[in-house]
């Protein structure tokens, strides 16, 4: 009977499954982590190590997580896991932003009720239940992604302790004089019926009707009459895209230093236009011929007045350096009730002029709009344009597309509207804030200039909102004189009340029940007060987290090591945290800030359900598993927008398969390996080359982890597994692993090498592929120095000493290149039917000079490296670049055991179908 020599081979064998089945397997691993309380054990194990704290920017608890939230949490988890596996104690306390308009709006929308139909107490009860429900929903979704953290003790902005601390923060800032109430032009959402901060604004493209509107001069202070220009024919012309603000016009602004031309048209009309804009103006309003009567600086026109286009009111010509020459006429329509710059120039330099706001909270024109009272801002635009055309005040119109601010929640265009609000004066501590920014490490580096520019350009922070679901502004008003009251005693009373009973108590108790007995107005001495009805901006909530969270987590200390959020947070959480921290302590709350871009579709377009191009996290985990989503996150250069599509995920699943197969191949060849039994070891040169490559990988990846450069890790690991391992080292190694005796020193050396490689690689990828690394860890033969319970309880290894100098490196890089070129030649020979498998081949390398010498030096190892049966080296008479390659059929017969062709097959009578090497092994 013919002997089955396959039974004498050390063929791979492992229970580690080929199919990942991550959607089914990952929940079981999660259940195991829960049962073992892996996070608490990890923190306990690391309790004596150097702390590293990433402070979590809290998402709104108002819906399922989306792909952007999942990406952000995954990036943070990679950092936290890495730090815990590199000698640090890295706690992760998840946070939840639970107050604010986003949550109130969505809660009431889902319940189908209007906030004006409910009391503040009723609204707050509904919103609290809604937010708490979504904390539970989102917690489960984050856990499904493998996010490791203290999920049983998250911080919540609605916690009594958090609210009490936030009140104290407000009190300190007020005591320093940074908090004040005043009339200013702010962003106003007529749909949400509240003021908004800059961080709550999104800019969208709007198509609008821009108008050139003329104002007839009625008092010239002698300027026009001295030029013999009749006032009934002299006009200033403004350019505006917001017709609905015309009822609020009180002035026309000219730059004091720009030159303005007074021109006369063919029909004896006179216009005042900035000299640099004259040509474009004439083209827009179809003036073919004109004469320049005079040219004067803008300051010469100050305090001339013109008639309002339809109201019984004068419009005063003023000077302002905010006027630009970008477009229009150089004469700017000024309505301080509806424009920030307009408001500033009037309040600072022309306070005698009125600030008129002819629009109510809901965007309806008031009686101050005259004949158009009762119309919406959209309606008055159409009606007023029509009226002004009929009366000859509009001399040209054009449709333009421009960027206009919209509410971030309801997506409706906002109004600029002057209202009484609470503000934090950023100007008062701006120098300290800019200095604090300089002390922080920003990544990308442009982040520093971005936030510096935003702070530099910001005067105030509007911190009041006209809603119910939020932290009340802890201010009282004297019932007698109306002045507001803030004191150390009142702040302490409110903070202690909230600490004991929560902020709902503000809406239940009277002012007299909250204020200390004997409190009196510092202005008039009255002792009766009412309470403020506005709430704080939700950004003040999350912006206070750096100081509020340690109330329940005293183990955390500030400044925090890292803030890691989307790039929109330069005007959001990064900035609100910075402002409150500098106002309180003079320092930034963080040492390092890293930002990432947004998730877009495969073509770079914004993901949207309406466009059908959005992918939800549960779609990815349900089809591919969370590890594939995490692999995608690591593959992205997150400093730019990150592309995700079905095709990209499919390609990544192939990458994951290659990584998994590398691990499975190694595990299959370690079934009989006991690392504890290795006493003496002599590594072959190719083994040392593989360890040299591993060492390079560790060096690159450790540096990349430290610099939060995860996509470099992804590419390096992929290249190592596919190019260095699967396509080279592991391929070459098969002969030693399969053919030699189990205890052959050369085979043991190979097993030692691949075990070290897979152990290091598993630890290295563990922060990214959290489930797969945990799965591999259970199958690895480990020494007693490793913790076998969970991969996360072990340290990612440092680089190590490997005997491999530059000369050897150059040698093996040349061997690697030679192998790649021979593989191409073998493929050609296979297509030409010269050979079948590579072991059918004999390779003849013809060379001369130094390269001939190099080939002769490595001749003995070449058959195993090239995975061919024979290699011959020949010298050629002519010099060539390196060598030529010739493929022919191998000499001899094919060995039935190792499949190598040899002329020694048939020499042994007992094993006539084996080569001499295999006969020796079996004997």
Strands 476-478, 529-531: pairing is antiparallel
Looking from the CA of 776 toward its CB, the CA atoms found within 13 Å total: 29
Q: Is a pLDDT exceeding 60 seen at residue 618?
A: yes
Structure tokens at 674: 């006991």
CB 364 within 8 A of CB 372: no
Query: Over the stretch 242-287, which tens digit does the pLDDT of each residue have?
Result: 999 999 999 999 999 999 999 999 999 999 999 999 999 999 999 9
CB 518 within 8 A of CB 456: no
Kindly report the average pLDDT of the chain as a whole number.
Answer: 93
423: which strand partners? 180, 462
Query: Cα–Cα distance between 654 and 319 in angstroms, integer?
Result: 66
Cβ burial of 431 (10 Å; 0-12, 13-18, 19+) is exposed
Q: What's phi and psi for 922, nearest 5 deg?
A: -70, -25
The pLDDT of residue 460: 92
Total Cβ atoms within 10 A of residue 436: 22
Q: What's phi and psi for 583, nearest 5 deg?
A: -60, -35
Using CA of residue 825, residue 826, residue 827, residue 831, what is the dihedral sign? Answer: positive
Which band of pLDDT confidence, cut at 50, 70 and 90, is reported for residue 405?
A: confident
The pLDDT of residue 41: 97
CB 353 within 8 A of CB 251: yes
Question: Range with the lowest mean pLDDT among 359-363, 592-596, 743-747, 794-798?
Answer: 359-363
Q: Is a pLDDT exceeding 60 seen at residue 235?
A: yes
Which band of pLDDT confidence, cut at 50, 70 and 90, is reported for residue 880?
A: low
Cβ burial of 314 (10 Å; 0-12, 13-18, 19+) is middle
Q: Is a pLDDT exceeding 60 seen at residue 1?
A: no
CB 557 within 8 A of CB 537: no
The pLDDT of residue 101: 84
Residue whose tokens read 């090239």: 866
Query: Over the stretch 408-429, which tens digit does the pLDDT of each residue have?
Result: 777 888 788 888 999 999 999 9
Which run of H or of E encompasses 122? helix 120-144
Query: Cα–Cα distance between 482 and 465 in angstroms, integer?
Result: 20
Query: Over the stretch 630-688, which tens digit does the pLDDT of each residue have?
Result: 999 999 999 999 999 999 999 999 999 999 999 999 999 999 999 998 888 899 999 99
Q: Is 329 left (phi over 0), alpha (psi -120 to 50) or beta?
A: alpha
Q: What is the mean pLDDT of residues 108-124?
A: 84
What's the DSSP call for residue 898? Answer: T
Highest mean pLDDT among 100-104, 109-113, 573-577: 573-577
Q: Distance from first CA to last CA of the chain, Å, rounded?
A: 19
Question: Range with the lowest mean pLDDT among 403-412, 522-531, 898-907?
Answer: 403-412
Structure tokens at 357: 């706001």
What's the DSSP call for residue 572? Answer: T
Using CA of residue 737, residue 743, residue 748, residue 749, what is the dihedral sign? Answer: negative
The pLDDT of residue 881: 65
Closest to 773 in 3D by CA, of 788, 792, 793: 792
Total Cβ atoms within 10 A of residue 534: 20
Total Cβ atoms within 10 A of residue 53: 24
Closest to 542 in 3D by CA, of 76, 75, 99, 92: 99
Which band of pLDDT confidence, cut at 50, 70 and 90, is reported for residue 188?
A: confident
Name, in order, each residue with C-beta under 8 angstroms of 138's C-beta and a sequence gap of 6 or more.
59, 61, 64, 65, 96
Q: Is 612 left (phi over 0), alpha (psi -120 to 50) or beta?
A: left
Query: Over the stretch 626-642, which tens digit does the pLDDT of each residue have?
Result: 999 999 999 999 999 99
Q: What's phi and psi for 704, nearest 5 deg?
A: -65, -40
The pLDDT of residue 879: 64
Which band of pLDDT confidence, cut at 50, 70 and 90, is reported for residue 153?
A: very high
The pLDDT of residue 610: 65
| pLDDT more than 70, % of the chain | 99
Using alpha carbons, list the distances in angstroms from residue 545 to 159, 522, 850, 918: 11, 32, 68, 70
Map residue 886 onto helix, strand or coil: strand
Question: Range with the lowest mean pLDDT among 157-166, 183-192, 378-387?
Answer: 183-192
Burial 373-395 (b: 16+ CB within 10 A, else e): eebebeebbebbbebbeeeebbb
Query: Over the stretch 714-765, which tens digit does the pLDDT of each residue have?
Result: 999 999 999 999 999 999 999 999 999 999 999 999 999 999 999 999 999 9
Structure tokens at 455: 């702070």
The pLDDT of residue 71: 97
Q: Is a pLDDT exceeding 70 seen at residue 7?
A: yes
Closest to 735 in 3D by CA, of 689, 684, 694: 684
Strands 870-875, 841-847: pairing is parallel
What's the DSSP call for residue 603? Answer: T
Query: Over the stretch 319-363, which tens digit does the pLDDT of each residue have?
Result: 999 999 988 999 999 999 988 889 989 989 999 999 999 998 888
Using alpha carbons, list the distances in angstroms from residue 534 to 100, 195, 423, 866: 12, 10, 12, 77
Name, in order, each residue with C-beta under 8 angstroms of 303's C-beta and a sequence gap of 6 or more.
221, 316, 317, 318
Closest to 329 in 3D by CA, of 376, 280, 378: 280
Map residue 162 onto helix, strand or coil: helix
Total Cβ atoms within 10 A of residue 755: 22
pLDDT top residue among 18 and 111: 18
Which band of pLDDT confidence, cut at 50, 70 and 90, is reported for residue 375?
A: very high
């Amino acid at each position: 009977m013919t002997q089955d020599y396959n039974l004498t081979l050390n063929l791979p064998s492992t229970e580690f499954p080929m199919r990942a089945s991550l959607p089914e397997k990952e929940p079981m691993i999660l259940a195991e982590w829960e049962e073992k309380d892996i996070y608490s054990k990890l923190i306990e194990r690391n309790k004596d190590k150097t702390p590293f704290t990433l402070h979590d920017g809290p998402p709104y608890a108002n819906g399922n997580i989306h792909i952007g939230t999942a990406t952000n949490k995954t990036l943070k988890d990679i950092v936290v896991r890495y730090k815990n596996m590199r000698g640090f104690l890295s706690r992760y306390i998840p946070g939840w932003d639970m107050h604010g308009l986003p949550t109130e709006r969505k809660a009431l929308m889902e319940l189908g009720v209007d906030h004006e139909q409910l009391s503040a107490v009723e609204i707050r009860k509904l919103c609290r239940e809604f937010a708490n429900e979504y904390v539970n929903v989102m917690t489960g979704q984050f856990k499904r992604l493998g996010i490791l953290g203290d999920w049983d003790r998250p911080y919540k902005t609605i916690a009594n302790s958090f609210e009490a601390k936030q009140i104290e923060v407000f009190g300190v800032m007020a005591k320093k004089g940074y908090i004040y109430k005043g009339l200013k032009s702010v962003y106003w959402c007529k749909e949400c019926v509240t003021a908004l901060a800059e961080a709550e604004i999104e800019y969208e493209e709007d198509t609008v009707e821009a108008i050139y509107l003329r104002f007839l001069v009625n008092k010239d202070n002698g300027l026009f009459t001295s030029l013999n220009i009749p006032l009934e024919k002299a006009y200033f012309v403004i350019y505006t895209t917001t017709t609905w603000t015309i009822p609020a016009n009180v002035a026309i602004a000219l730059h004091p230093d720009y030159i303005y031309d007074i021109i006369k048209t063919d029909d004896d009309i006179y216009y005042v236009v900035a000299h640099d804009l004259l040509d474009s103006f004439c083209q827009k309003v179809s003036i073919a011929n004109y004469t320049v009567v005079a040219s004067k600086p803008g300051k010469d026109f100050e305090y001339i007045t013109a008639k309002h286009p339809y109201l019984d009111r004068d419009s005063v010509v003023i000077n302002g350096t905010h006027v630009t020459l970008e477009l229009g006429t150089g004469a700017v329509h000024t309505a301080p009730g509806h424009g920030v710059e307009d408001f500033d120039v009037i309040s600072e330099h022309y306070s005698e002029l009125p600030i008129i706001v002819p629009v109510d909270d809901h965007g309806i024109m008031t009686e101050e709009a005259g004949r158009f009272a009762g119309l919406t801002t959209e309606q008055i635009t159409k009606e007023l344009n029509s009226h002004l055309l009929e009366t000859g005040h509009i001399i040209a119109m054009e449709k333009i597309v421009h960027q206009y601010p919209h509410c971030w929640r309801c997506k409706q265009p906002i109004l600029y509207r002057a209202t009484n609000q609470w503000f934090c004066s950023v100007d008062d501590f701006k120098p300290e804030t800019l200095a604090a920014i300089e002390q922080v490490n920003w990544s990308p580096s442009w982040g520093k200039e971005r936030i510096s520019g935003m702070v530099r350009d910001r005067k105030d922070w509007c911190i009041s909102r006209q809603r119910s679901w939020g932290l009340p502004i802890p201010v009282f008003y004297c019932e007698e004189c109306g002045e507001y009251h803030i004191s150390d005693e009142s702040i302490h009373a409110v903070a202690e009340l909230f600490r004991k009973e929560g902020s709902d108590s503000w809406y239940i108790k009277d002012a007299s029940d909250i204020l200390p007995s004997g409190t009196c107005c510092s202005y008039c001495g009255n002792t009766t007060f009412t309470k403020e009805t506005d709430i704080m901006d939700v950004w003040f909530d999350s912006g206070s987290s750096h100081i509020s969270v340690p109330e329940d987590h005293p183990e955390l200390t500030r400044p925090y090591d890292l803030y890691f959020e989307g790039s929109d947070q330069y005007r959001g959480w990064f900035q609100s945290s910075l402002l409150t921290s500098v106002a309180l302590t003079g320092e930034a709350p963080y040492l390092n800030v890293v930002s990432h871009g947004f998730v877009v579709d495969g073509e770079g377009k914004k993901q949207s359900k309406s466009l059908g191009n959005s992918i939800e996290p549960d779609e990815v985990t349900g089809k591919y598993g969370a590890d594939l989503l995490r692999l995608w996150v690591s593959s992205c250069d997150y400093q730019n927008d990150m592309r995700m599509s079905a095709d990209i995920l499919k390609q990544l699943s192939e990458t994951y398969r290659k990584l998994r197969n590398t691990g499975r191949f190694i595990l299959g060849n370690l079934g009989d390996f006991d690392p504890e039994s290795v006493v003496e070891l002599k590594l072959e040169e190719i083994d040392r080359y593989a360890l040299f490559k591993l060492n390079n990988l560790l060096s690159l990846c450790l540096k990349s982890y430290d610099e939060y450069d995860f996509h470099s890790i992804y590419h390096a690991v992929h290249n190592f597994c596919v190019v260095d391992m699967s396509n080279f080292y592991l391929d070459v190694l098969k002969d030693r692993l399969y053919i030699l005796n189990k205890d052959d020193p050369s085979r043991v050396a190979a097993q030692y090498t691949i075990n070290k490689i897979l152990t290091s690689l598993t630890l290295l990828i563990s922060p990214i592929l959290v489930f797969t690394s945990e799965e591999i860890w259970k199958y690895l033969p480990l020494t007693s120095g490793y913790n076998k319970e969970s991969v996360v309880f072990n340290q990612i290894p440092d680089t190590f000493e490997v005997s491999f100098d530059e000369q050897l490196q150059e040698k093996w890089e040349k061997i690697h290149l030679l192998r790649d070129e021979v593989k191409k030649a073998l493929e050609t020979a296979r297509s030409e039917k010269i050979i079948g498998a590579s072991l059918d081949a004999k390779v003849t390398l013809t060379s001369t000079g130094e390269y001939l010498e190099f080939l002769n030096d490595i001749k003995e190892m070449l058959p195993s490296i090239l995975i061919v049966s024979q290699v011959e080296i020949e010298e050629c008479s002519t010099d060539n670049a390196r060598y030529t390659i010739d493929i022919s059929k191998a000499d001899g017969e094919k060995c039935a055991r190792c499949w190598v062709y040899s002329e020694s097959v048939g020499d042994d009578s007992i094993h006539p179908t084996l080569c001499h090497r295999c006969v020796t092994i079996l004997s």
